[in-house]
Amino acid sequence: MSTTSAATRYDVERVRRDFPILDRQVNGKPLVYLDNAASTQKPTAVIEAVRDYYATHNANIHRGVHRLSQEATAAFEAARATMARFVGAEQSEEIIFTRGTTESINLVAFSYGRANVKAGDEIVVTEMEHHSNIIPWQLLCEQVGAVLKPAPIDDTGDLILDELESLLTERTKIVAVGHVSNALGTINPIARIAEMAHAVGAVLVVDGAQATPHATVDVRALGADFYACSGHKMYGPTGIGVLYGRRELLDAMPPYQGGGEMIRTVSFEGSTWAEVPHKFEAGTPNIAGAIGLAAAADYLESLGREAIAAHELDLMAYGTAHLEAIPGVHMIGTAREKTAVLSFVFESAHPHDIGTILDNEGVAVRTGHHCAQPVMKHFGVPATARASLGVYNTHEEIDALVAAMGKVRELFA
Ligand code: PLP
């Protein structure tokens, strides 16, 4: 499908009507929401799915024989099946519900990692990772005496693949890479990285937080052993996310947290664990969140994931051209393969001032280090302003961003 034809068929005005919050005014101006990489807005389909669960089916799952508990259990497990389909997993059991990407990566680090990474082993990440895909590995390395190695990026924000490959040895046990960078928008060549990781016997953990909202994800085609994502970044609720793990890896892993739901038998002499995925879901899960997340996945599929990607690429090209044309604006992150993120600095204004002035105009962007301090260090900036795109953004909203940048220039140039 060509980018232009898919973008042309995409009816953004119809999509906007699905998001009640877009009717809001901010500072007397129509809301222009360009902070989607931090968190996306929710369509009526998601809000209604959560409301319907609480209004008509609410009960605890898996333990009850009564009707509501059975309904809640069925809805929760149906949500798991939806998410398995959404990421291309072979079986529903490979989907573990977590609080989000951060918890998913911590689960892998502390369950798979402690069981498989020993003193002297190595874990390879990249310089462009979100802190969520750095700190859990750093903590693991400290605990077991392993070494964390970052693969460098170039000045466009592209991963230097040769350098990554040269870091991989038989000591490498885990390679952990973001699918899409939240600070730069770079799309990493995951299938190629999977081949490299597997060639040295390492497993590949993919941080998919910024990929699931924008592109089709197929964990098997990508060769990901683990894949993490967050509901709130893909138009679903907060406090829910997914960890995909290959079944044989999950089966062999020890529990991550202990408590109800994750056991088969309990005695003071010793306990045994439930099968996956329940082994990793101690306690009452976020039932409404999982149901809302599945509604979000269905919603994205109803829009067409290729059509979404084409729409956002089109907007990104438009936004890049118009922002670059503003004297004093410098784009951070211009990788060949990138999506949905317009990160920039303006020569004479701090990003936080930019953010405040844009907010006065009703334009919501994020300013700061975006939980990616090594990226900021690479580019020699303390922070950037980041406009990040979603399914409901329009060319007119990019125009509003550019016009609001005119106010920044008036004050600071
Ligand atoms: N990874 C990336 C690339 C992100 O952009 C984020 C959030 O910004 C995270 C991980 C953490 O996601 P969460 O806070 O939903 O756990």
- Cα separation, 61 vs 285, in Å, equals 9
For ligand 1, pick from 242, 369, 371, 389 the residue to mutate: most ligand atoms within 8 Å of CB. 371
Tokens of 329: 């604006």
Options 1.25.40.10, 3.90.79.10, 3.40.1160.10, 3.40.640.10; CATH of 47-301: 3.40.640.10
- Ligand 1 near 178 CB (within 6 A): yes
- Cα separation, 201 vs 171, in Å, equals 9
Q: What's the pLDDT at 63?
A: 79
Q: Which atom of ligand 1 is nearest to the CA of 99?
A: 16
Fold of 3-30+304-412: Aspartate Aminotransferase, domain 1 (3.90.1150)
> CA angle, 310 as apex, 34 and 82 as ends, to 5°?
85
- Ligand 1 near 130 CB (within 6 A): yes
- Ligand 1 near 132 CB (within 6 A): yes
Q: What's the pLDDT at 2?
A: 41
Q: What's the pLDDT at 8?
A: 55
- Cα separation, 3 vs 5, in Å, equals 6
Q: Do domains 3-30+304-412 and 47-301 have the same CATH topology?
A: no
371 is catalytic: yes
The closest residue, in CA terms, to atom 8 on ligand 1 is: 38
Q: What's the pLDDT at 5?
A: 53
Cis peptide before 277 (omega within 30 of 0): yes
DSSP string, 275-334: PTTGGG--SS--HHHHHHHHHHHHHHHHH-HHHHHHHHHHHHHHHHHHHHTSTTEEES--
User: Cα separations (Å) of 297 from 1, 42, 242, 294?
Assistant: 21, 12, 12, 5
Q: What's the pLDDT at 413?
A: 78
The rounded average pLDDT for each run of 10 residues, N- to C-terminus, in the chain (413 residues) is: 56 98 96 98 98 98 92 98 98 98 98 98 98 98 98 98 98 98 98 98 98 97 98 98 98 96 95 96 97 98 97 98 97 97 95 96 97 96 97 98 96 87
The residues spanned by each domain of the chain are 3-30+304-412, 47-301
- Ligand 1 near 210 CB (within 6 A): yes
